[in-house]
Amino acid sequence: MHPNANLEQLMARYQQGDSAAALALIERLSPPLHRFFLVQAVSRRDAGDLLQETWLRIHQVRHTYRPGEPLLPWLYAIARHIRVDHYRKTRRREMREQQVEVLPEMAAAARGGTEQGPDLEALLGALPESQREVITMLKVAGMSLEEVARATASSVGSVKQKAHRAYQKLRELLRVRADESGA
Amino acid sequence: MNPEPDKLDQILARAAGAEPVAPELVERISGAVLPGLRPVRPMPSAEAMVAALLLLSVAVGAGAAAILGMQGLAILSGAQALLIFAAIGLSGGLAASQSAAEMVPGSKAMANPIALMLGASLALMGIFAILFGGYAMDAFVPQGVPCLTAGLSVALPAGGGAWLILRRGFAVDRAAAGSALGTLAGLTGVTMLELHCPNLRAIHVMAWHVAVVPLGAAGGALLAWATHSLGAKRNAAELMQ
C-alpha cells in the first residue's frame, strides 16, 4: 500500500464534508508545507501567512482533487502557485519602494545553523530556487520523482537532473564548510 | 573519496521530520476552513472532460461548416481528407487533454502548451506542403483575410464553450491553460476551414488557415492573463477597503 494512501482517503472524506478528516489533513500536512515555504527563503511570519493562504485556496478548490489520484502533487502544485504569487507581489512592492534588498537566496544563506551542523534552510539557501524546491519536495515532503514532476509541471528527467545538481552543489558546500572549520 | 555524503544525508533526514507548526496557526487555519464545511462534487474524470471538449470542437467546427457550405470537403480526395483530419484530430486530442490537465493542479502534463501549439501548426503546415501545390502570391491577402476572420469567428465560440466545460477547474498557470484551450479552439477553426474553403493553394492554406491555431493560442493566453490580472487587482482593491 502506498504510504500516502491514508492522505488520499482523508482528502476524499474532506470533500464529503468530514470535519475530522479536514482537521487531520491540516495537522498532518501543515508542518511539511510550512517547511516548504521556509526553505523558499521567506520569513517565518510570511511562511505562516503563506501556509494559511494555501489552506484557504485548498479549501476553495478542493473539488478539483480527483479521488484515487495522488494527493501530494495536487497539494504542492497549489502551494507552489501561492509561493510564486507571493514572490511576484513582493518583487512588485520592492520595486515600488525602490529599496535595495538583500537577495532572497543570500537572505536564506545568511540564516544560522545548529550545533549539529547547518540547518536545512541555511544549507538550501545556496541553491537556485528550482533546485531548492525539488529537494524540499523530495526530502521534506517525501514525494517520489514522478510526484514532484507533476507538482512542478515538468518531466521526471528534469526533476532528476535538478536533484542531481543540487546534491552535487550541497556536497561541495559542506566540503568547503568542513575545510573552513578545520583550518 | 567524498568526505561529506553522510552529513548531507543526515541533514536531509532531519528535515524530513519537519518541526511542528505553532498550535495557534493550526487553530487559525482550521477556524477559517472548518466552520460550515460542506460536501463538494469532485471534478469529472479527465477522460470525460477530454471527450466533452472533443465533442464540442467537432460540433462547432462541423456545424459552422455545414452552415457555410462543405465546398472544401467536396474537392478533397479521400486520402487528403483522411490525412488532414487525422492530423487535426490528433492535435485536437492532445490540446483537449492538456486543457483538461491544466485545470486540475498536479495533473500529468501531456505536452508543454507552447510546444503543443507549435507542433500542431508545423504538422499541419507540413501536411499541406506535401498535399497541395501553388505558391503564387496573387490575391494572397484578399483571399486570406476572409478565411482568417471566419476561422477566428469559429474559434471564439469553441473557446467559450470549452471554458464553460472547464470552468470548475483551477489553473495554477493561467496563461498555459489559456494557451492550451486557445490551441484547441484554433484547431476547431481550422476544421471548419478545411471543410468549407475550396482554395487548395498551398501558400493560402499554410498561411491563413494554420494561422488560426497560433492566434487562438495567443488570444487564449492573453485573455487568461488579463482576467487573472483583473481578478488580482480587484482582490487588492477589496483588501485596501
Q: Collect all residues of chain A within an 8 Å Cβ-Cβ radius of residue B25.
A: 30, 48, 51-52
Average pLDDT of the residues in B142-154: 97
CB contact under 8 A, A63 and B43: yes
Closest CB to B15 among A17, A76, A139: A139
A125 secondary structure, DSSP code = T
Domain boundaries, chain B: 46-239
Structure confidence at residue A115 (pLDDT): 45
Give the domains, in start order, of chain A with CATH numbers. Answer: 5-182 (1.10.1740.10)
What rounded mean pLDDT belongs to chain A?
A: 84
Other beta carbons within 10 Å of A76 = 28
The whole model's pTM is what?
A: 0.85
Q: Convert B78-99 to b/e letters by CB count within 10 Å (16 or more is b).
A: eebbebbbebbeebbbbbbbbb
Q: At what angle do helices B174-196 and B113-131 cross, to 10 degrees?
A: 20
Other beta carbons within 10 Å of A43 = 11
CB contact under 8 A, B14 and A167: no
Which helix (H) or strand (E) is B50 found in, with range? helix B46-68
What rounded mean pLDDT belongs to chain B?
A: 91
Q: Which residue has the higher pLDDT, B178 or A125?
A: B178
Nearest alpha-carbon partner for B53 in B133, B201, B165: B165
Q: Is the pLDDT of residue B183 over 50?
A: yes
Q: Collect all residues of chain B within an 8 Å Cβ-Cβ radius of residue A81.
A: 105, 172-173
CA A60 to chain B, closest CA, distance in angstroms equals: 9
Q: Collect all residues of chain B within an 8 Å Cβ-Cβ radius of residue A116.
A: 10, 14
Average pLDDT of the residues in B71-100: 96
Residue of B nearest to A179 (CA): B3
CA A100 to chain B, closest CA, distance in angstroms equals: 24
3-class state of residue A113 by DSSP: strand
Q: What is the band of B1 on the pLDDT scale with cuts at 50, 70, 90?
A: very low
Q: Is the pLDDT of residue B238 over 90?
A: no
Nearest alpha-carbon partner for B185 in B78, B72, B95: B95
Facing residues of A113 across strands?
Answer: A118
3-class state of residue A118 by DSSP: strand
Longest dimension (CA), chain A: 60
Q: Collect all residues of chain B within an 8 Å Cβ-Cβ radius of residue A118.
A: 11
The count of CB pairs under 8 A between chains A and B is 148
Instruction: Look up cell 487573472; give the residue.
Output: B228
Structure confidence at residue A80 (pLDDT): 94
CB contact under 8 A, B33 and A59: yes
Give yes or no for a contact between B100 and B166, defined as CB atoms under 8 angstroms apart: yes
CB contact under 8 A, A116 and B18: no
Longest dimension (CA), chain B: 75
B101 vs A149: CA distance, rounded Å: 14
Residue of A nearest to B8 (CA): A171
Structure confidence at residue A109 (pLDDT): 43
Residue B67 in grid coordinates = 452552415
Share above pLDDT 90 across residues of chain B, in percent, rounded to a whole number: 77
B210 vs B188: CA distance, rounded Å: 11
Structure confidence at residue A89 (pLDDT): 80
Q: Is the torsion defined by CA of A167, A121, A71, A77 positive or negative?
A: negative
Point out the residues of chain A with pLDDT beneath 70: 1-5, 41-42, 98-119, 182-183
What is this model's ipTM? 0.83
Mutate which: B9, B19, B40, B116, vs A, most A CBs within 10 A: B40
CB contact under 8 A, A26 and B26: yes
Structure confidence at residue A118 (pLDDT): 59
Q: What is the band of B167 on the pLDDT scale with cuts at 50, 70, 90?
A: very high
Q: Collect all residues of chain B within an 8 Å Cβ-Cβ radius of residue A15.
A: 39-40, 42
**DSSP symbols for B146-213:** HHHHHHHHHHHHHHHHHHHHHTTS--SSHHHHHHHHHHHHHHHHHHHHHHH-----HHHIIIIITTHH
Q: How far apart are the first and last CA of chain A?
A: 49
A62 secondary structure, DSSP code = G
Average pLDDT of the residues in B3-17: 69
Structure confidence at residue B106 (pLDDT): 94
3-class state of residue B55 by DSSP: helix
B226 vs B39: CA distance, rounded Å: 32
Q: Collect all residues of chain A within an 8 Å Cβ-Cβ radius of residue B172.
A: 77-78, 80-81, 153
CA B175 to chain A, closest CA, distance in angstroms equals: 13
CA A169 to chain B, closest CA, distance in angstroms equals: 11
**DSSP symbols for B101-159:** HHTSTTPPPSS-HHHHHHHHHHHHHHHHHHH------TTHHHHHHHHHHHHHHHHHHHH
Residue of B nearest to A115 (CA): B11
Structure confidence at residue A3 (pLDDT): 53
Average pLDDT of the residues in B122-146: 94
Structure confidence at residue B240 (pLDDT): 53
Residue B170 in grid coordinates = 483551477
Residue A182 in grid coordinates = 578545520
Q: Is the pLDDT of residue B79 over 50?
A: yes
Structure confidence at residue B182 (pLDDT): 97
Q: Convert A143-178 to b/e letters by CB count within 10 Å (16 or more is b).
A: bbbebbbbbbbbeeebbeebbeebbebbbebbbebe
Structure confidence at residue B120 (pLDDT): 97
* B199-210 pLDDT tens trace: 999 999 999 999
Average pLDDT of the residues in B75-102: 96
Average pLDDT of the residues in B128-140: 92
Give yes or no for a contact between B46 and B100, defined as CB atoms under 8 angstroms apart: yes
* B41-58 pLDDT tens trace: 999 999 999 999 999 999
CB contact under 8 A, B104 and A17: no
Structure confidence at residue A46 (pLDDT): 86
Structure confidence at residue A105 (pLDDT): 47
Average pLDDT of the residues in B150-162: 97
Residue B45 in grid coordinates = 474524470
Structure confidence at residue B200 (pLDDT): 93
Q: Collect all residues of chain A within an 8 Å Cβ-Cβ radius of residue B4.
A: 171, 174-175, 178
CB contact under 8 A, A150 and B107: yes
Structure confidence at residue B203 (pLDDT): 96
Structure confidence at residue A141 (pLDDT): 87
3-class state of residue A117 by DSSP: strand
CA A156 to chain B, closest CA, distance in angstroms equals: 11
Closest CB to B106 among A35, A60, A73: A73
Average pLDDT of the residues in B139-162: 96
Residues 6+ apart with CB under 8 A from A165: A131
Average pLDDT of the residues in B205-229: 94
